[in-house]
Chain A
């Protein structure tokens, strides 16, 4: 089980052929208090880098891009009633969606945790 990161501040954790996707603690902090999350429909095919979800704070709205391509097999519907979970546990209970991985090779281009931490430090 590995967790990888994108430059747009999404994380993706792969178990078997299912990838869980969320936004990083850095992204959650930059947004401020999350007030609304728009999740994709189950069964939707998402492309790597394409729009997958929307996350909103009071003064900002941000797209969540799919870190890898795949089919949405599950969404975290708890976020609809409790968007605050995204701030409280961005990499845990604040996950957004699970994707059936289309091509595991797409993970190779993403950052490791250490690489991502360095990337954030440079921002």
Chain B
């Protein structure tokens, strides 16, 4: 077996040092009735070529986004990732290192985490950010729990236009933790409310000034949690931090990370300086070493599970390290000019697509404002239309009914995302396809 260095002779020599006759003997503490004497009924080991064949067959049964006109978004977006990003994250020293618990030999990881935290704070318009969470949806759940800790309150209000799967993730986590979840607008706020959770651009793609919501939440002593599922939007839109948000959580997948069928992604989490000790997750901080040289360490660890155990701010142990490195590198390549331009390009293409699609008979544009994703109302239920177009080699978008199956009003709604990867020919193909299916 190519990954196992011990030879039969090695094993024999080592067993004699250990004082055992066989490896089986080392398992003497296992109850005999539970110790397998035969192999599990699975195939035997295989060489690289054979594994590649098997995996390749499965991969070939999927329609990859890059192979067709493609318009899915709803929390995961197809962007171009520069070749540099994937090359650098595969450096052994990044790919195969552990959490930086020994800072003297992990400055590479620690410094990029510090740079990542700075980038996220800048993008969201907040004071501080952590070293990443699993993804946007779990980060939102953590933000809700943190709001409850900060305010010492148990009532959570979710905006109806929060991504339905985010809302379910929050509901599942928060209810187990003893919080109550209400869906409503700012009139549902009261003086027992811990936070109001609002997505911007919202699930339909529409953009809002959330300043009045922040004011309304603050008037009741509640926090405003802002959710961003498309981080590229912050290259074009006023960031939540400038609209009064207390916690900003986001999905960072769009920068540096492929679609990956939903994971791994990278959750961004930013807040105000005064709440820093209530934050979940890892934090990297600047310090000096014994010779006075600048260096970085994991810090404020007493918030975390490995020290605080049942009193920790979260049970999270990993972050999304490599995805967060990909984000940091891609963002470094973009810089101010590139990131702004990327956002403008996304908006530009989306406006072109929306205008062309709105002219199709049986299509109505439902979102007058949007960034790179908008909602169309079709003359027919959207899900069968999408299936029909998929058969013709066009992935037209996400039918809202897939995320809100019980909402009759959502049946004919289609979410369409357009990024810099979308070509004019792709847009024309969707226009032609929709015209045909809806006629």
What is A's interface to B at a CB cutoff of 8 Å?
Answer: 36, 56-61
CA distance A72 to B301 in the complex (A): 28
B307 touches A60 (CB 8 A): yes
Besides the known contacts A57-B302, A58-B301, A61-B308, 11 further A-B residue pairs in the complex with CB atoms under 8 A apart:
A36-B277, A56-B302, A58-B302, A59-B301, A59-B302, A59-B307, A60-B302, A60-B307, A61-B302, A61-B307, A61-B311
* Interface size, B (range): under 10
**CB of A1, distance to nearest CB on chain B (Å):** 34
Closest to B311 in A: A61
Which residues on B sit within 8 Å (CB–CB) of A59? 301-302, 307
CA distance A59 to B277 in the complex (A): 15
**CB of A29, distance to nearest CB on chain B (Å):** 18
What is B's interface to A at a CB cutoff of 8 Å?
Answer: 277, 301-302, 307-308, 311
**CB of A115, distance to nearest CB on chain B (Å):** 31
Which residues on B sit within 8 Å (CB–CB) of A56? 302
**CB of B101, distance to nearest CB on chain A (Å):** 11
CA distance A60 to B307 in the complex (A): 6
Which residues on A sit within 8 Å (CB–CB) of B308? 61
**CB of A79, distance to nearest CB on chain B (Å):** 15
Most chain A CB neighbours (cut-off 10 Å) among B302, B307, B308, B311: B302
Closest to B306 in A: A59
Which residues on B sit within 8 Å (CB–CB) of A60? 302, 307
CA distance A36 to B307 in the complex (A): 15
Lowest 9 CB-CB distances: which A-B pairs, in order? A61-B302, A56-B302, A61-B308, A61-B307, A59-B307, A60-B307, A60-B302, A59-B301, A58-B301
**Chain B interface mostly:** helix
Which residues on A sit within 8 Å (CB–CB) of B302? 36, 56-61
**CB of A33, distance to nearest CB on chain B (Å):** 12
Which residues on B sit within 8 Å (CB–CB) of A58? 301-302
CA distance A58 to B300 in the complex (A): 7
Closest to B303 in A: A61
Q: Can you give 15 contacting A-B residue pairs, CB < 8 Å? A: A36-B277, A36-B302, A56-B302, A57-B302, A58-B301, A58-B302, A59-B301, A59-B302, A59-B307, A60-B302, A60-B307, A61-B302, A61-B307, A61-B308, A61-B311
**CB of A61, distance to nearest CB on chain B (Å):** 4
Closest to A55 in B: B302
Which residues on A sit within 8 Å (CB–CB) of B301? 58-59
CA distance A59 to B308 in the complex (A): 10
Which residues on A sit within 8 Å (CB–CB) of B307? 59-61
CA distance A36 to B277 in the complex (A): 10
**CB of B338, distance to nearest CB on chain A (Å):** 39
Which residues on B sit within 8 Å (CB–CB) of A61? 302, 307-308, 311
**CB of B115, distance to nearest CB on chain A (Å):** 23
CA distance A57 to B302 in the complex (A): 8
Closest to B299 in A: A58
CA distance A56 to B308 in the complex (A): 10
**CB of B306, distance to nearest CB on chain A (Å):** 9
CA distance A58 to B304 in the complex (A): 12
CA distance A58 to B103 in the complex (A): 14
CA distance A36 to B308 in the complex (A): 14
**CB of A28, distance to nearest CB on chain B (Å):** 16
Which residues on B sit within 8 Å (CB–CB) of A36? 277, 302
Which residues on A sit within 8 Å (CB–CB) of B311? 61
Which residues on A sit within 8 Å (CB–CB) of B277? 36
**CB of B149, distance to nearest CB on chain A (Å):** 13
CA distance A57 to B277 in the complex (A): 14
**CB of B290, distance to nearest CB on chain A (Å):** 15
CA distance A58 to B307 in the complex (A): 10
CA distance A36 to B301 in the complex (A): 12
CA distance A11 to B287 in the complex (A): 33
CA distance A59 to B307 in the complex (A): 7
**CB of B197, distance to nearest CB on chain A (Å):** 27
**CB of B233, distance to nearest CB on chain A (Å):** 36
Which residues on B sit within 8 Å (CB–CB) of A57? 302
**CB of B80, distance to nearest CB on chain A (Å):** 42
CA distance A95 to B302 in the complex (A): 22
CA distance A59 to B300 in the complex (A): 9
CA distance A56 to B307 in the complex (A): 11
**CB of B151, distance to nearest CB on chain A (Å):** 14
**CB of A55, distance to nearest CB on chain B (Å):** 10
Closest to B309 in A: A61
**CB of A110, distance to nearest CB on chain B (Å):** 26
CA distance A57 to B301 in the complex (A): 9
